[in-house]
Amino acid sequence: MEPIALDCHAHLAPILPDRIADLPGVAWFPEEPRLVLDGSASLASPSVFRPEALIAWMDAQRIARAWISVPPPLYRAGLDEAGARIWCGYVNPALAEVAGRFVDRLAPSFLLPVRHPALAAEIVAGFAPRGARFAMAAGHAASGLVLSDPTYEPLWTVLDAAGAFLLLHPTAGRDPRLDHFFLHNLLGGPGETALAAAHLAMSRVLERFPRIRFILSHGAGSAAMIAGRLAHGQAVRRPGADTGARPMTEAFRDFHADCITHSAPALALAAAVLGPERILFGSDWPFSMGLIEPHRQLADVDPELRARIFAATPEG
C-alpha cells in the first residue's frame, strides 16, 4: 500500500463554542452535533466537527498531512460584505487555531468570500505570512459575478505576490433543472468548476498571475472534457472567444486538480489535459462523495499515475 504524503482537500468545521454562539445567522447544537446556517443550510456530519476524527482517519490511511478548509455550506457565499467580514473573521482564526493543535499534521486553507473580492484581497494580505493557502467558491450564480471580472484584479495581485494556493470549490447553483436527483452536486458542481477554469484562462488571469496555484476540485470538474472544444472555438474565432489567450489545451496545464473523479478514465483524461504532475491527492473528507477509502477507490487507476498522486508534494 502506497503512502500518501499530503491531502490537499479535506474539510473541517471549526467550532469554538465561546465564539460561535454570538455569530449572526449561526446556530450550534453541540448535543447532536449540528450547525445551522442562515436558517436553512444544516451540517450534521459528526466527524466534520472533530479534528481528532480527521487525524485518526489520516493515520488509518497513511496520510502525513492535510490542508483543511471549511465544507461548502460554510462558505455562506450569499452574505453581504459586512456579514462576510464577521463570518470570515470567525472562520479563519478558528481554522488556524484548530490546525495549531496538530501543527505537524494540519494546515489551514483560509476562506475567501467570492462575492467580495476587495475583502478577499484584504484577508489574503493578513493571512499570507502565516501560510499561503486559501479556499473560495468557484462562483456565485445569484450575484452573476464571474472570475474574469476586473474587480478580482486586486485579489489575483495579492495571491500572486504570495505564490498562494487557491482551492476553487463549487457550491449549489440556481438552475431549477438540477433540483432533481441530487444534480446540483453531481452535475452542476463539475460544470461550475469548468466555468471558473474557462473564465480564468480565457481572460488570461493564468498568464498574468503565474505564481497563483489554482486547485480545481473534483478532478477539475468537467474542465478536461471541454478544453479541446474551447480551444477549437478560439481557433475558429467564435464571437468573444478570441481573447489573445493561449489555446485552452495549453492554458489548462497551469491548473492543479485533486484526484476525486470516481472514474479511472476520467482521472486519466484530467491527467492528460492538465499534466500528471498537476494531479494532487484530495479526499473531500469526511463526505460520502469523496475518497474515504482512497487506496481501494483508486485501485483501478494506472499504477504510475496512482503512485505519482500518492507521492505528490505541491508545496515544493
pLDDT tens track for 35-87: 999 988 788 889 999 999 999 999 999 999 999 999 999 999 999 999 999 99
pLDDT digits (tens, 9 = 90+) for 170-209: 988 888 999 999 999 999 999 999 999 999 999 999 999 9
Task: Count other C-beta atoms under 10 Å from residue 241's C-beta.
Answer: 17
Cα–Cα distance for residue pair 202/192, rounded to 1 Å? 15
| Average predicted confidence (pLDDT) for the chain | 94
pLDDT digits (tens, 9 = 90+) for 275-293: 999 999 999 999 999 999 9
**Residue with the larger pLDDT of the pair 28 and 130:** 28
Statement: residue 223 has pLDDT above 90: yes
pLDDT at site 164: 96
pLDDT digits (tens, 9 = 90+) for 14-27: 999 999 988 999 99
DSSP annotation of 140 reads B
Task: Count other C-beta atoms under 10 Å from residue 103's C-beta.
Answer: 8
Cβ-Cβ contacts under 8 Å for 56 (sequence gap 6 or more): none
pLDDT at site 1: 66
96-105 average pLDDT score: 96
User: Cα 248–275–68 angle (5° rounding)?
Assistant: 100
**What are residue 103's phi and psi, to 5 degrees?**
-60, -25
Cα–Cα distance for residue pair 225/280, rounded to 1 Å? 18
Share of the chain above pLDDT 70, in %: 99
Predicted TM-score (pTM) of this structure: 0.96
